[in-house]
Amino acid sequence: MTMGAHDMHGEVMANRSTTEELLLGLASGRIRIVDLTAPLHEKTPIIRLPPERGQPWPFSRELISRYDDKGPHVYWNNIKMCEHTGTHFDAPIHWLTGRDFDDVSQVPVQRLVAPAIVIDLTEEAGNPSFLLERRHVERWCEQHGPLPDGAWLLYRTGWSRHGHDTDEFLNDGVTPGVHPQCAQWLAEQTAILGIGVETVGTDAGQAGSFDPAYPCHWYFHGANKYGLTQLRNLALLPPRGTMLIVAPLPIVGGSGSPARVMAIFESETP
Ligand code: MN
* pLDDT reading at 113 higher than 60: yes
CA distance 270 to 267: 6
- Please state, rounded to an integer, the average pLDDT across all residues of the chain: 94
The predicted-structure confidence for 168-218, as pLDDT tens digits, reads as follows: 999 999 999 999 999 999 999 999 999 999 999 999 999 999 999 999 999
For residue 122, what pLDDT band results from cuts at 50, 70 and 90? very high
- Residue-level pLDDT at 15: 85
Residue 133 CA to residue 182 CA, distance in Å, equals: 5
Ion ligand 1 — residues with CB < 5 Å? 84, 90
pLDDT band at 270 (very low <50, low <70, confident <90, very high): very low
How large is the average pLDDT for residues 238-262?
98
User: Which tens digits make up the pLDDT trace of 45-94?
Assistant: 999 988 899 999 999 999 999 999 999 999 999 999 999 999 999 999 99
Q: How far is the CA of 254 from the centre of ligand 1 (A)?
A: 11
DSSP code for 196: E
pLDDT tens-place string over residues 127-140: 999 999 999 999 99
DSSP assigned state of 97: G
201 Cα–ligand 1 center, Å: 6
- What's the 189 CA to ligand 1 centre distance in angstroms? 23
Q: What is the DSSP letter of 240?
A: S
pLDDT of 3 higher than 50: no
Q: Does position 23 have pLDDT exceeding 70, yes or no? A: yes
User: From the CA of 90, how far away is ligand 1's center (Å)?
Assistant: 5
Q: How far is the CA of 4 from the centre of ligand 1 (A)?
A: 44
Question: What percent of the chain is helix, strand and coil (3-state, nearest 5)?
Answer: 25, 30, 45
Pick the CATH number of 36-56+83-266 from 3.50.30.50, 3.30.565.10, 3.40.50.970, 3.30.2080.10: 3.50.30.50
DSSP class of 35: E
Inter-helix orientation angle 215-222/180-189, to 10°: 10
- CB of 140 within 8 A of CB of 146? no
- Is the pTM value of this prediction over 0.85? yes
Instruction: Determine the pLDDT at residue 2.
Output: 45
Q: Following DSSP, what letter does each residue of 113-182 receive, concatenated?
A: EEEEEEEE-TTGGGSTT-EE-HHHHHHHHHHH-SPPTT-EEEEE-SGGGGTT-HHHHHGGG---EE-HHH
CA 95 to ligand 1 center in whole angstroms: 10
pLDDT band of residue 1 (cuts 50, 70, 90) is very low
CB 115 within 8 A of CB 106: no
The catalytic site residues sit at 94
Cis preceding linkage at 258, omega within 30? no
Question: Which residue in 100, 181, 170, 84 sits closest to 128, CA to CA?
Answer: 170
